Structure 1
Amino acid sequence: MNKFLLGTAAAMASLAALASPVLAADMPARPYTKAPAYTAPALVYNWTGFYIGGHLGGAFTDGNNLMGSDARFMGGVQGGFDYQFAPNWVAGIEAQYSWLPNSSNNGVLFPAGTLVSGNTDQIGSVTGRLGYTWGPALLYAKGGYAWRDGNNINASVAGVPVGITTNGNRQDGYTVGGGLEYMFAPNWSAKAEYQYYNFGKTTFTGGPADIVGASFRNDEHTVKLGINYRFGWGGPVAAKY
């Protein structure tokens, strides 16, 4: 019996060995699969955080005030805070202060010979702003409170200073504007901005007869290029896979 069992097992083993190459030949070849292409992670830009910076630009009027329409250089500083939400909207608040040189305009000469001139050499604002961001770019509008140094109005006749009184020589007003800001490096952004300042009208209530009752607008149009350093949360802070 043992010899029979051993012989049967040996025969089955021989058949299995003969059948293995045949079965292997009948099996389909394993398909080749290409590894997925590498996709670099996308940077996630976050505008939330505090910032400080500086700006340079120019200021000009439409010719209906005492500065005429001469363009003047301006430069200054700014700082603020932004908060990003929902998820592509950015709301913030910003304080800005600028210096302007004396106007090269000689003033306004009235028919009877009275020369009136004025100048604004400091201007500032505190504004809210709301913008929409896509990646490193932010398009925004802004508006709020504006301040200036008082316009420093003077009058003279034949080169001799004369006394004047005014109504509405305002230091306080409002401002509106907008711009485009772009994050060009971690924690750094650059902006181009237009801002309009309005301080109402100045009316002469006393002085030489030819100027009494005359009114002038007090406004400034400004165009600025600026750069900001953003603390903490600003800049490309994470990689999105």
Structure 2
Amino acid sequence: MKKSLLLVTASLVAISAAAPAMAADLAARPYTKAPAMVATIYDWSGFYIGINGGGGSSHATWDLTGLGREGSHDATGGTVGGQIGYRWQSGQWVFGVEGQGNWADFSGSNTSALTGNSNRTKIDSFGLITGQVGYAWNNVLVYVKGGAAVLGTKYDIHTPGGAFVASSDDTRWGGTVGVGLEYGFAPNWSVGVEYNHIFVGGHDQNLTNGGVFVQTDHVKQDVDMGLVRLNYKFGGPIIAKY
């Protein structure tokens, strides 16, 4: 009996001695910090190239020199083209330059109040050279733009029966202003919508038939158009930790 009590007592002493050591081992385990979270910040900087398409309307007013107002009309239709540019970002501000060229089919006509003939205007091409200033909320960009514009336009006169009277082709420079909204849906891709106004002012247009002068009209002309754009940007997003 005494021998059994001695064995139990020795076991309890051994367990008591081992407990602090085990606690010390548990406390010594190193603390592992949770991995830092990361957020993708869209970077608008870099060269880009893209395509666009949409529609527009050109308001044209014809004044027959020396006689007075012939009338006005809206030349409407569609357009497709492309753009290339470069942007650089500073904080949330985005600055850029862009060149754009489009094929167009904006056409319309009216009956002259003076001659009874049909005066027709058709814009078949245009180009824009612009600067941009924008503000970005990560992958959403709002911007304004402005610069120079060039229009390729054809002017025609026909009799009420459709017979050709005179025509003229012209390349006319003017200005443009616009505003756009763009969304980066992938590291290198963005889609957007844009509105542009082109104004070329008034100018004298000499219309001829077979090289023979027929008449001069003072034509006032401007263009309003809306475009959908798809761009590919060279480069990618930056990664920021927080």
Same fold (TM over 0.5): yes
1:75 corresponds, among 68, 72, 80, to 80
Contact 1:67 1:119 in 2 (8 A): no
User: Any unmatched runs of 5+ in structure 1?
Assistant: 1-16, 25-29
Question: 2:94 — aligned with what?
Answer: 90
Contact 2:56 2:106 in 1 (8 A): no
Residues 110, 47 of structure 1: CA spacing in aligned structure 2 closer, same or farther, 3 A cutoff?
same
SS in 1 for 2:74: coil
Q: CA deviation at 1:62?
A: 4.7
Q: CA deviation at 1:117?
A: 1.0
Contact 1:52 1:229 in 2 (8 A): yes
Residues 129, 102 of structure 1: CA spacing in aligned structure 2 closer, same or farther, 3 A cutoff?
closer
What is the alpha-carbon distance in structure 1 between the residues aligned to residue 167 and residue 58 of structure 2? 23
Backbone CA RMSD of aligned residues: 3.6
- Between 111-120 and 218-227, report the one with greater CA deviation: 111-120
Question: 1:187 — aligned with what?
Answer: 188
Question: 1:198 — aligned with what?
Answer: 199
User: Any unmatched runs of 5+ in structure 2?
Assistant: 1-12, 21-26, 63-70, 209-213
Residues 62, 112 of structure 1: CA spacing in aligned structure 2 closer, same or farther, 3 A cutoff?
closer
Residues 164, 54 of structure 1: CA spacing in aligned structure 2 closer, same or farther, 3 A cutoff?
closer
Contact 1:170 1:200 in 2 (8 A): no
1:60 corresponds, among 44, 57, 70, to 57
1:160 corresponds, among 152, 158, 163, to 163
Q: CA deviation at 1:182?
A: 1.1
TM-score, L = length of structure 2: 0.72
2:118 corresponds, among 93, 115, 120, to 115
Residues 185, 217 of structure 1: CA spacing in aligned structure 2 closer, same or farther, 3 A cutoff?
same
Once the two structures are superposed, what CA deviation does each residue of 1:174-206 show, in whole Å capped at 9, x if it has no partner?
Answer: 100011111111100111100111111134677
1:216 corresponds, among 219, 223, 230, to 219
Question: 1:47 — aligned with what?
Answer: 44
Once the two structures are superposed, what CA deviation does each residue of 1:27-76 show, in whole Å capped at 9, x if it has no partner?
Answer: xxx9xxxx988774111121110000001111113565788335311111
Which AA in structure 2 matches 1:61? S
- Between 181-190 and 198-207, report the one with greater CA deviation: 198-207
TM-score, L = length of structure 1: 0.72
SS in 2 for 1:46: coil
Question: 1:9 — aligned with what?
Answer: none
Percent identity between the two aligned chains: 33
